[in-house]
């Protein structure tokens, strides 16, 4: 199977049967927006290895990497000095908000710790809480195909969430919960130094960008989070409920890929 046939296969797996050339400009941005809470598996995610990925997540020698904006000394957190092992241990023992009382375990993140692409979702769901790994289940299988459509894999990106603990009944994160986890996510970002961030879903995008703007209006533009380019797309769980929106998600992925390529030397 050659590259074009493989790409067609991935797009068909996303539910997109018409081939869109990789270098074509993105389609028009819709103002439509799913602002209703997602069902239980909307937190579920995952990505599988693509044997012939055209975009590698690890940053080889010479590839540009963005250094996140550094906090002023008076605003810096002790978390900002932690290495990966100490950071994961701090997350595992965190009791900063009430979610620690109801979690089975924390969900730290998974993937390549030197990735060029950082995928950020909302929060663990039931299966993630049980398995301790982000993005598993049906929505995760779709996310696999979305990433593979642009030559990425679970092993080549890093995947994390706004929250490290599952909210009861998979409700939206509360402001104090997101604030309690923000330093953890920012430290992961500083350690990875990705070239681009893909914000998956309304809650992730609004928390990262500190806005209540609907996701339909956040799509189609390149934003910045701590100085790093950020592209917003729909959550795979929403796409499972609204398959006609998958074409828009494909436009988002192409925008992210183009932005990533433009960031390279």
CA triple 212-126-101, angle to 5 deg:
85
Backbone Cα Rg of the chain:
17
Range 222-231 average pLDDT: 97
Structural domains of the chain, ranges and CATH numbers in brackets: 3-14+64-262 (3.40.470.10)
**Closest to 160 in 3D by CA, of 202, 126, 112:** 112
Query: Residue 63: what pLDDT?
Result: 55
The sign one gets for the Cα dihedral 126, 131, 132, 136 is: negative
> Which residues of the chain form beta strands (DSSP E)?
110-111, 117-121, 158-161, 196-200, 222-225, 228-233
CA contacts within 13 A on the Cβ side of 119:
31
Cα–Cα distance between 88 and 182 in angstroms, integer? 14
Cα–Cα distance between 117 and 196 in angstroms, integer? 5
Are 189 and 114 a contacting pair, CB within 8 Å?
A: no
Residue 60: band (very low, low, confident or very high) from pLDDT cuts 50, 70, 90:
very low
Cα–Cα distance between 109 and 94 in angstroms, integer? 15
DSSP 22: T
pLDDT (tens digit per residue) in 94-145: 999 999 999 999 999 999 999 999 999 999 999 999 999 999 888 889 998 9
pLDDT: is 256 or 264 the higher one? 256
pLDDT (tens digit per residue) in 157-188: 999 999 999 999 999 999 999 999 999 999 99
Residue 65's Cβ-count burial label (10 Å; 0-12, 13-18, 19+) is middle
Range 209-228 average pLDDT: 97
Cα–Cα distance between 147 and 149 in angstroms, integer? 5
Tokens of 216: 């339909």
Residue with tokens 């046939």: 5
């Amino acid at each position: 199977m050659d590259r074009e046939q493989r790409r067609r296969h991935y797009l068909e797996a996303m539910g997109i049967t018409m081939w869109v050339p990789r270098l074509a400009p993105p389609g028009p941005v819709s103002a439509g927006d799913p602002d209703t809470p997602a069902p239980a598996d909307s937190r579920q995610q995952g990505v599988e290895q693509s044997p012939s990925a055209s975009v590698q997540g690890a940053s080889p020698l010479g590839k540009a990497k963005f250094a996140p904006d550094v906090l002023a000394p008076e605003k810096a957190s002790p978390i900002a000095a932690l290495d990966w092992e100490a950071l994961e241990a701090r997350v595992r023992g965190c009791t900063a908000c009430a979610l620690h009382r109801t979690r089975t375990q924390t969900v730290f993140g998974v993937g390549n710790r030197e990735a060029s692409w950082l995928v950020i979702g909302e929060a663990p769901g039931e299966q993630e809480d049980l398995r301790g790994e982000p993005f598993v289940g049906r929505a995760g299988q779709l996310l696999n195909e979305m990433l593979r459509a642009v030559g990425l894999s679970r092993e080549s990106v890093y995947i994390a969430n706004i929250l490290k603990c599952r909210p009861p009944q998979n409700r939206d994160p509360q402001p104090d919960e997101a604030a309690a986890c923000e330093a953890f996510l920012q430290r992961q970002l500083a350690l990875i130094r990705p070239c681009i961030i893909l914000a998956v879903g309304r809650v992730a995008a609004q928390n990262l960008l500190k806005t209540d703007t609907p996701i339909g209006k956040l799509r189609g533009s390149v934003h910045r989070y701590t100085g790093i380019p950020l592209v917003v797309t729909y959550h795979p769980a929403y796409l499972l409920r609204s398959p006609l929106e998958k074409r828009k998600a494909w436009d988002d992925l192409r925008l992210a890929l183009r932005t990533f390529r433009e960031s390279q030397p």
